[in-house]
């Protein structure tokens, strides 16, 4: 039996079957007490209880149903089977590394990383609630993948020209307005589906992002604080929107792109009835010629690539895209910033900086 005092001075004890286990545990416990991060088992809870506590907080915070469902799946299918009954006070960094290795073995790498992120959030919340003194998972990270993250691939300029020509010629003015706005604004599909006419200034050519629609068609705030933004529109997008406004049926939410019943348009209908057919009619298809070549996110990439080509600075592009941090912008489009500058331009810039003249 190990008899000791915790960091509050309270006397504690813990029993073991073997002396060497007791000695090893005592050495670690006394180190934790000195650092103020020791949690007695009797003051802790197990992972399952901590997960329920965290999920309840996520629901109270009003996160989107799809997000909550994903977190619940992480907990039920991947976290609890490995360590649901383990007390938080007993979890060590090596144990977390072992859980991660198991997830990497059983799941795709992106899913394993998301599960680890959820696990870290559970432990952080438990720490903040006083059920454990530290989050031992914070420093655990998966080894870098041998292959880099897939880079954003915007539509080619040739394809964009064909699509925009189809926008001008189609009789489906709703599809024309959606595609044109997507290409010129870089808006997320959820933001397009939740867009209200009150947020469009067609006289001055700009759009204010103030809400979005989730997967179930519920209107709510943008994805993050950075999602609130103003985006200038080109004359082509403004023209398409003006034409559509004359035909847009009235609806209770004053939506720019309502469904046939006047509700929020689903993403499936958006692609299968509007954006997809316009591409197919223009010959912009995947191999086989039956499916559209690009999804909505590709048009968001298109806007970013065009802004980068026009030499807009990265901070401005971050703002236009609604990214929460400049890191996201560079992680997604860093290769496009590099491609925008030719070697000759780089050499000329150095010459100008050193000698005040171009090479």
User: Which of these, 333, 340, 341, 339, lies nearest to 149 by C-alpha position?
Assistant: 333
The reported pTM is 0.65
Tokens of 215: 């997967």
Strands 206-209, 200-201: pairing is antiparallel
Cβ atoms 188, 223 nearer than 8 A: yes
Total number of residues shown for the chain: 359
Cβ atoms 209, 199 nearer than 8 A: yes
Q: Phi and psi dihedrals of 14, rounded to 5?
A: -150, 135
Helix (H, G, I), strand (E, B) or coil at 171: coil
pLDDT in tens, the chain (359 residues): 866 666 556 776 677 778 877 776 566 666 665 555 556 665 678 999 999 999 999 998 888 788 889 999 999 999 999 999 998 888 888 999 999 999 999 998 889 999 999 999 999 998 888 788 788 899 899 887 655 555 667 899 899 999 999 999 999 999 999 999 999 999 999 999 999 999 999 999 999 999 999 888 989 999 889 999 999 998 899 999 999 999 999 999 999 999 999 999 999 999 999 999 999 999 999 988 889 999 999 999 999 999 988 888 899 999 999 998 888 888 888 777 766 555 455 455 555 655 565 54
User: Which of these, 127, 152, 148, lies nearest to 138 by C-alpha position?
Assistant: 127
What is the CB neighbour count within 10 angstroms for residue 138?
13
249-261 burial code (b ≥16 CB/10 A, e <16): eebebebbbbbee
Alpha-carbon gap, residue 297 to 300, rounded angstroms:
5
Residue 228: exposure state from Cβ atoms within 10 A (0-12, 13-18, ≥19): middle
Cβ atoms 267, 189 nearer than 8 A: yes
Residue 74: exposure state from Cβ atoms within 10 A (0-12, 13-18, ≥19): buried
* Percent helix / strand / coil, the chain, rounded to 5: 55, 10, 35
Tokens of 71: 């977190």
Helix (H, G, I), strand (E, B) or coil at 209: strand
């Amino acid at each position: 039996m190990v008899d000791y005092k915790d960091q509050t001075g309270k006397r504690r004890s813990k029993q073991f079957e073997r002396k060497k286990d007791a000695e090893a545990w005592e050495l670690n416990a006394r180190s934790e007490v000195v650092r103020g991060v020791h949690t007695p088992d009797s003051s802790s809870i197990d992972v399952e209880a901590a997960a329920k506590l965290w999920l309840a907080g996520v629901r109270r915070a009003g996160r989107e149903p799809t997000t909550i469902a994903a977190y619940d799946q992480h907990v039920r299918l991947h976290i609890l089977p490995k360590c649901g009954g383990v007390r938080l006070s007993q979890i060590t960094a090596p144990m977390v590394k072992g859980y991660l290795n198991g997830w990497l073995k059983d799941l795709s790498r992106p899913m394993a990383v998301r599960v680890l992120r959820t696990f870290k959030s559970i432990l952080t919340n438990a720490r903040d609630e006083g059920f454990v003194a530290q989050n031992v998972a914070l420093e655990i990270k998966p080894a870098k993948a041998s292959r880099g993250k897939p880079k954003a691939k915007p539509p080619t300029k040739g394809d964009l020209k064909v699509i925009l020509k189809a926008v001008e010629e189609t009789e489906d003015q709703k599809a024309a307005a959606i595609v044109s706005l997507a290409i010129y604004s870089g808006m997320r599909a959820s933001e397009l589906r939740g867009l209200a006419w009150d947020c469009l200034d067609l006289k001055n050519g700009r759009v204010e992002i103030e809400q979005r629609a989730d997967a179930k068609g519920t209107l709510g705030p943008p994805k993050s604080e950075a999602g609130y933004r103003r985006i200038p529109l080109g004359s082509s997008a403004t023209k398409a929107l003006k034409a559509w406004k004359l035909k847009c049926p009235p609806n209770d939410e004053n939506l720019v792109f309502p469904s046939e019943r006047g509700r929020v348009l689903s993403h499936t209908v958006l692609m299968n009835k509007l954006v997809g057919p316009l591409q197919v009619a223009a010959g912009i298809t995947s191999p086989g010629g039956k499916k559209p070549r690009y999804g909505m996110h590709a048009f968001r990439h298109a806007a970013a690539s065009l802004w980068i080509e026009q030499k807009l600075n990265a901070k401005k592009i971050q703002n236009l895209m609604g990214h929460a941090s400049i890191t996201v912008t560079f992680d997604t489009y860093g290769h496009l910033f590099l491609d925008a500058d030719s070697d000759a331009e780089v050499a000329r810039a150095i010459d100008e900086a050193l000698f005040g003249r171009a090479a």
